C-alpha cells in the first residue's frame, strides 16, 4: 500500500462526508441538478466585481519584465504596502509592508502561522463549532486542538476558553464572522478574550497568540461593524483571503497581518516568511497579488447575500425551525428538530435538500446551510424543509 | 518568544545563507548592482514565451461564470485531461485525467506526495548533492532523509542507494535534469534503479515509491532526451512545474502525474487529492491552470541557456576550473580549487562574484553557479574567476 497509515485513517474517517457528497451527486443524476437544493458548499456563486476584470485587463497589458518571476517569499513589496495601508484604515493600527505576508489563500496563511508557533504537542484553543479544516491544519504541524464550547448564541464563552488553557497552550484561534454559525463576536467579547489571554500568558510564562481567521470580514449585514482584534492585545495575527469578498476562491490569494506592536515581531515575521517558503507555497501567485493589491476594500454586492439570508431565515422560522439570525458570512446554523443531526440530514435528503450536519463542525444537534445559491432555489426548497420537520416532530 | 523552537533552530541554521545573501546585497549597494556578478539564484530571467501572453489575453476575455471559483481539489478536469494527453506523448504511458493532480508549483507537489506516503520516521533516500529544500519538505511530514552519494560524474551510484535502504525506506527521490549539477540520468541508470527498488520493495514487503522531480525536463542541450522514469517500475510519481520551462515561478503552477498502472492507484490518488486540500493549497491557481493547459510542451528558447552554458563552461575551463559539462538545467557545479568551498566563495565575493557553496547541497568541495543572467555578465565575470583561482592555488 503506497499510502501512509495516517492518511488512510484520515480517509476512512472522512468517508462519511464523501458518502454524503456521493449521495448528493447520485441525487442530482437521478432527479436533475435543477431539482436538488444544494446548501452544502460554501462556494461563492457571485462573480468577482467589475473592478476585478478592469484591473485584470490592465495588468495583462503590462509588460514589465519579471512580472511572473520569483520574488521575496513575503510577496511583492508594493502589494504588501497596499495591503498595509488598507489594514491601517480597517484596524486603526500603524501597519507597514513589513507586517504583511502575502499567502496562498487563508488556508495557506493558517498553515504558515501554525507552523511558525507550534512545537509538537503544543495546544491551540478553538471555540466550537468551528471550520473542520482546522483539525487538519493544526495536526499538520503536530499541534493539538482543544475545543471550547461557545454560548447558546455562539458568542465566545470565556469560562470555557479558560478551562482549556494549560502550560502547552500556544494560541487561541477564532473566526468571526463565523463559519458555520455566521456570528460576529462583539467588541466586549474580544476585550474579555484579550484580558484572559494576558492572564494565561502571564501564568505560563510565554505569550499565547491570538489567531484571527477573517475571510468573511466584509460579508456582514444590518450595518454591523466587525470589531478589530488588534485593539486590546499585542500578540495578534490576522489571516484572511479574497476568496469570499472578491469571489476568487479558485485563485488562492490571501494574506497574514501581524500586530505592528508585537514584541519580538521581527523574529515572528522571519518565521512566517521562512515557512511560506518551506511549506512549498514559496509565494502567493504573482499576477493575483498585483490585482488584489489594487482592489483593497472592494467586495461583491453583499446585499445579494443579505436578501437571501432574510428570505431563508423567514422561511425556516415560518416552518418552525429555531435559529440565530447570523450577522455575517453566508451560512445559517439552525437547530435540528431532533437530537440526531445526521439522521435529520438524511430526512432532508429525501426532500432533495443537501445540508451538512453540525456534528462535522463540533456542533451536534444543528445543521449548516450555505446560501451561495439564487433566491429561487431557497424559495423552492422551503416546502421541503417544512415537510421534513413535520415528519420528525 | 512567539516562535516555535524548531523554527528558531531552522532560522539559526539558515543564518549562513542569509548572511551570504546580505553580503551580496551590501556588495550591490557599494559597487552598484551592474558591477556584481550574481550567479546565486536559480531565477529564470527569460520572459515567458509569446504564446503565454496570447493565451492569457484570450482567457481574460472569457466570461464563463465560476472561472475563478472553487473546483475539485485535484484541479480543473479539462486541464488535467490536457496534461494527461501531453504526459502520454512524453512518457509513452496511457495517462488519463484521473492520474493528474494540478498543484501549487513543484514545491506544493512534493509536499503533497510526501505527506501522502510518509508516516513519522519513514525514510526517503536522496542522491546527493541535492536541492536544499528537500530537507525541509521531508521534515514537514516527519520523514527522514538518507543521503546517497552520486558518482564523480553525478550519475546515480546504485551501491550507495542500496546501502541506505532499511525497513523504513518509503521512497527514493530523484531530480533529473539536476539542481545543482545539471546532470541528466541516463536510461541505464534509471533501469538499474528500478531493479534495485523492486528488490528493496520485495525485501521490506511494502512498495518503495520513486518520486521524480522534473522541473528542468525541457531545459536540455545537445539533443539529449530525458528518459522516462515510468518505463521500468510501477510505483512512480512525477512532480513538476511550469516555473522553468515557461518562466512562471512566481505564479505557482505545476502538477503531479502518477503511474497509470500503479497498484492501489485509486487509494494513492485519493490521498494526493486529500492532502492538496488539507495542506492548505486547496487547488492550483485557477486562471494559471487554464493557461498552462493550453501550453503543453511549449517552453522558452532553450538555445539562449545553451549559449550561456557554452560560454561559461569554456571560460571557466580556460581559467583552469574542473567541471562536468551539464546536459540540462541552468547550473554549473565546478570543483572549488581548494577543499574549503565556503572559503572559496568568500574569495569569489572579493571579485564581486556571488555563488553558492556546494556544502549547502551536500556537495562540499564544489560550488554552484546559476546562469540565469545575460551573456555579457558571464563574459565580464571571467577575469574575476581567473584571479580568484590564481589567488588560492
Q: What is the pLDDT of residues A30-82, one digit of tens each?
A: 999 889 999 998 889 999 999 999 999 999 988 889 999 989 999 999 999 99
Residue B58 covered by a domain: no
- Of A268, A293, A318, the last residue of a domain is A293
Residue B273 covered by a domain: yes
For the stretch B310-331, pLDDT in tens is 999 999 999 999 999 999 999 9
B25 confidence band (pLDDT: 50, 70, 90): confident
Q: Are A126 and A149 in contact, with CB atoms under 8 Å apart? A: no
Structural domains of chain A, count = 2
Strand partners, A236: A210
Examine the domain organization and report whether B100 and B237 are in the same domain: yes
Report the C-alpha gap between B324 and B178 in whole angstroms.
12
Give residues with Cβ within 8 angstroms of A49, minimum separation 6.
Answer: A246, A247, A295, A298, A299, A300, A301
Report the C-alpha gap between B232 and B217 in whole angstroms.
19
Report the C-alpha gap between A282 and B111 in whole angstroms.
12
pLDDT value of residue A67 = 93
Provide mean pLDDT across the span A203-223. Answer: 96
Among B69, B110, B288, beta carbon nearest to A249: B69
Examine the domain organization and report whether A314 and A260 are in the same domain: no
Q: Is B268 touching A (CB cutoff 8 A)?
A: yes
Residue B105 region, left (φ>0) first, then alpha (ψ -120 to 50), else beta? Answer: left
Q: Are A240 and A229 in contact, with CB atoms under 8 Å apart? A: no
HSE-CB at B163 with a 13 A cutoff on CA atoms is 10
CB–CB contact B108 A133 (8 Å): no
Could you tell me whether strands A100-103 and A123-128 are parallel, antiparallel, or unpaired per DSSP bridges? unpaired
- Of A259, A293, A327, the last residue of a domain is A293
| CATH number of the CATH domain containing A275 | 3.40.640.10
Strand partners, A126: A147
pLDDT value of residue A208 = 97
Q: Are A83 and A100 in contact, with CB atoms under 8 Å apart? A: yes
Provide mean pLDDT across the span A102-109. Answer: 98
Examine the domain organization and report whether A138 and A173 are in the same domain: yes
**Closest CA–CA distance from residue B317 to any residue of chain A (Å):** 31
Q: Pick from A209, A185, A191, A219: which is nearest to A306 by CA?
A: A219
Examine the domain organization and report whether B133 and B244 are in the same domain: yes
For the stretch B27-37, pLDDT in tens is 989 999 889 99
Other C-beta atoms within 10 Å of A163: how many?
Answer: 13
Residue in this structure with the C-alpha cell 521512497, named with its chain if needed = B171
Provide mean pLDDT across the span A14-23. Answer: 71
Q: Is A279 touching B (CB cutoff 8 A)?
A: yes
pLDDT value of residue A17 = 65
B18 confidence band (pLDDT: 50, 70, 90): low
Q: Are A250 and B70 in contact, with CB atoms under 8 Å apart? A: yes
Among B1, B5, B280, beta carbon nearest to A104: B280
Examine the domain organization and report whether A81 and A40 are in the same domain: no
A392 confidence band (pLDDT: 50, 70, 90): very high
User: Is pLDDT at B337 greater than 90 in this prediction?
Assistant: yes
Residue A89 region, left (φ>0) first, then alpha (ψ -120 to 50), else beta? Answer: alpha
Among A1, A250, A286, beta carbon nearest to B251: A286
Examine the domain organization and report whether A267 and A329 are in the same domain: no
Residue B56 covered by a domain: no
Residue B81 covered by a domain: yes
| CATH number of the CATH domain containing B356 | 3.90.1150.10
Q: Pick from A72, A281, A3, A111: which is nearest to B110 by CA?
A: A281
Report the C-alpha gap between A211 and A36 in whole angstroms.
37
- Which stretch of DSSP H or E encloses residue B237? strand B236-241
Residue A134 covered by a domain: yes
Residue A237 covered by a domain: yes
What is the ipTM, given to two decimal places? Answer: 0.96
Share of chain A above pLDDT 90, in %: 90
Other C-beta atoms within 10 Å of B352: how many?
Answer: 19
Residue A360 covered by a domain: yes
What's phi and psi for B22, nearest 5 deg? -70, -40
pLDDT value of residue A18 = 67
User: Is pLDDT at A16 greater than 70 in this prediction?
Assistant: no
Report the C-alpha gap between A80 and A289 in whole angstroms.
9
In the β-sheet with B123-128, what is the strand arrangement from edge to edge?
Answer: B100-103, B254-258, B236-241, B209-213, B169-175, B123-128, B144-149
Q: Is B206 touching A (CB cutoff 8 A)?
A: yes
Provide mean pLDDT across the span A347-370. Answer: 95
Q: Quick one: cell of B273?
A: 487529492
Q: Quick one: cell of A292?
A: 488584489
For the stretch B82-120, pLDDT in tens is 999 999 999 999 999 999 999 999 999 999 999 999 999
Q: Would you call A384 helix, strand, or coil by DSSP?
A: helix
Examine the domain organization and report whether B287 and B308 are in the same domain: no
Examine the domain organization and report whether A156 and A265 are in the same domain: yes
Share of chain B above pLDDT 90, in %: 90
Give residues with Cβ within 8 angstroms of B333, minimum separation 6.
Answer: B129, B154, B180, B181, B182, B323, B324, B326, B358, B363, B366, B367, B368, B369
> What is the extent of the structural domain holding B125?
66-293
Examine the domain organization and report whether A269 and A316 are in the same domain: no
Among B6, B8, B117, beta carbon nearest to A2: B117
Interface subset of B 130-159, CB within 8 angstroms of A: 133, 136-137, 140, 142
Q: Quick one: cell of A242?
A: 479574497
For the stretch A120-158, pLDDT in tens is 999 999 999 999 899 999 999 999 999 999 999 999 999
A21 confidence band (pLDDT: 50, 70, 90): confident
Examine the domain organization and report whether A149 and A282 are in the same domain: yes
Q: Is A205 touching B (CB cutoff 8 A)?
A: no
User: Is pLDDT at A363 greater than 80 in this prediction?
Assistant: yes
pLDDT value of residue B280 = 97
Helices (H) and strands (E) in chain A, counts: 13, 12
pLDDT value of residue B42 = 85
Give residues with Cβ within 8 angstroms of A187, minimum separation 6.
Answer: A227
User: Is pLDDT at A288 greater than 70 in this prediction?
Assistant: yes
DSSP at A178:
-
pLDDT value of residue B212 = 98
Task: Provide the whole-model pTM.
Answer: 0.97
Other C-beta atoms within 10 Å of A19: how many?
Answer: 10
In the β-sheet with A356-357, what is the strand arrangement from edge to edge?
Answer: A331-332, A367-370, A356-357
Examine the domain organization and report whether B280 and B308 are in the same domain: no
User: Is pLDDT at B4 greater than 90 in this prediction?
Assistant: yes
Examine the domain organization and report whether B250 and B331 are in the same domain: no
Other C-beta atoms within 10 Å of A184: how many?
Answer: 23
pLDDT value of residue A338 = 98
Residue in this structure with the C-alpha cell 571571467, named with its chain if needed = B382
pLDDT value of residue B11 = 85
B351 confidence band (pLDDT: 50, 70, 90): very high
CB–CB contact A279 B274 (8 Å): no
Q: Is A286 touching B (CB cutoff 8 A)?
A: yes
Q: Are B169 and B205 in contact, with CB atoms under 8 Å apart? A: no
pLDDT value of residue B17 = 65
Q: Pick from B227, B170, B168, B226: which is nearest to B197 by CA?
A: B170
Report the C-alpha gap between A356 and A181 in whole angstroms.
12
Residue B28 covered by a domain: yes
Q: Which residues of A touch B136 (CB under 8 A)?
A: 278
Among A1, A5, A262, beta carbon nearest to B267: A1
In the β-sheet with B331-332, what is the strand arrangement from edge to edge?
Answer: B331-332, B367-370, B356-357
- Of B261, B293, B325, the last residue of a domain is B293
B50 confidence band (pLDDT: 50, 70, 90): very high
Q: Are B327 and B315 in contact, with CB atoms under 8 Å apart? A: no
Provide mean pLDDT across the span B350-368. Answer: 95
CB–CB contact B68 A249 (8 Å): yes
Q: State chain B's mean pLDDT as an integer.
A: 95
Amino acid at each position: 500500500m503506497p499510502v501512509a497509515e495516517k492518511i488512510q485513517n484520515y480517509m476512512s474517517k472522512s468517508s462519511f462526508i464523501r458518502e454524503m457528497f456521493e449521495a448528493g451527486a447520485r441525487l442530482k443524476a437521478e432527479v436533475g441538478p435543477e431539482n436538488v437544493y444544494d446548501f452544502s458548499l460554501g462556494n461563492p456563486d457571485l462573480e468577482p466585481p467589475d473592478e476585478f476584470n478592469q484591473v485584470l485587463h490592465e495588468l495583462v497589458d503590462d509588460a514589465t519584465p519579471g512580472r511572473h518571476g520569483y520574488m521575496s517569499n513575503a510577496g511583492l513589496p508594493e502589494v504588501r504596502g497596499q495591503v498595509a495601508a488598507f489594514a491601517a484604515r480597517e484596524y486603526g493600527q500603524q501597519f507597514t509592508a513589513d507586517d504583511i505576508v502575502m499567502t496562498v489563500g487563508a488556508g495557506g496563511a493558517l498553515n504558515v502561522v501554525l507552523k511558525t508557533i507550534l512545537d509538537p504537542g503544543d495546544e491551540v484553543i478553538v471555540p466550537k463549532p468551528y471550520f473542520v479544516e482546522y483539525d487538519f491544519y493544526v495536526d499538520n504541524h503536530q499541534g493539538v486542538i482543544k475545543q471550547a464550547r461557545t454560548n447558546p448564541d455562539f458568542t465566545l464563552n470565556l469560562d470555557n476558553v479558560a478551562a482549556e488553557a494549560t502550560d502547552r497552550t500556544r494560541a487561541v484561534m477564532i473566526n468571526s464572522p463565523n463559519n458555520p454559525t455566521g456570528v460576529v463576536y462583539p467588541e466586549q467579547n474580544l476585550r474579555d478574550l484579550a484580558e484572559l489571554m494576558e492572564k494565561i500568558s502571564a501564568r505560563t510564562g510565554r505569550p499565547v497568540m491570538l489567531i484571527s481567521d477573517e475571510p468573511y470580514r466584509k460579508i456582514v449585514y444590518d450595518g454591523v461593524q466587525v470589531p478589530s482584534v488588534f485593539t486590546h492585545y499585542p500578540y495578534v495575527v490576522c489571516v484572511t483571503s479574497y476568496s469570499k469578498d472578491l469571489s476568487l476562491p479558485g485563485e488562492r490569494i490571501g494574506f497574514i497581518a501581524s500586530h505592528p506592536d508585537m514584541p519580538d515581531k521581527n523574529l515572528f515575521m522571519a518565521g512566517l516568511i521562512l515557512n511560506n517558503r518551506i511549506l512549498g507555497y514559496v509565494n502567493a501567485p504573482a499576477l493575483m497579488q498585483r490585482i488584489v493589491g489594487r482592489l483593497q476594500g472592494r467586495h461583491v454586492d453583499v446585499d445579494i447575500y443579505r436578501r437571501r439570508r432574510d428570505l431563508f431565515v423567514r422561511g425556516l422560522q415560518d416552518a418552525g425551525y429555531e435559529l440565530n439570525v447570523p450577522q455575517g458570512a453566508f451560512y445559517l446554523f439552525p437547530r435540528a428538530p431532533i437530537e440526531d443531526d445526521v439522521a435529520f440530514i438524511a430526512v432532508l435528503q429525501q426532500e432533495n435538500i443537501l445540508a451538512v450536519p453540525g456534528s462535522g463542525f463540533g456542533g451536534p444537534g444543528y445543521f449548516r446551510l450555505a446560501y451561495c445559491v439564487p433566491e429561487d432555489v431557497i424559495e423552492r426548497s422551503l416546502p421541503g424543509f417544512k415537510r421534513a420537520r413535520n415528519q420528525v416532530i
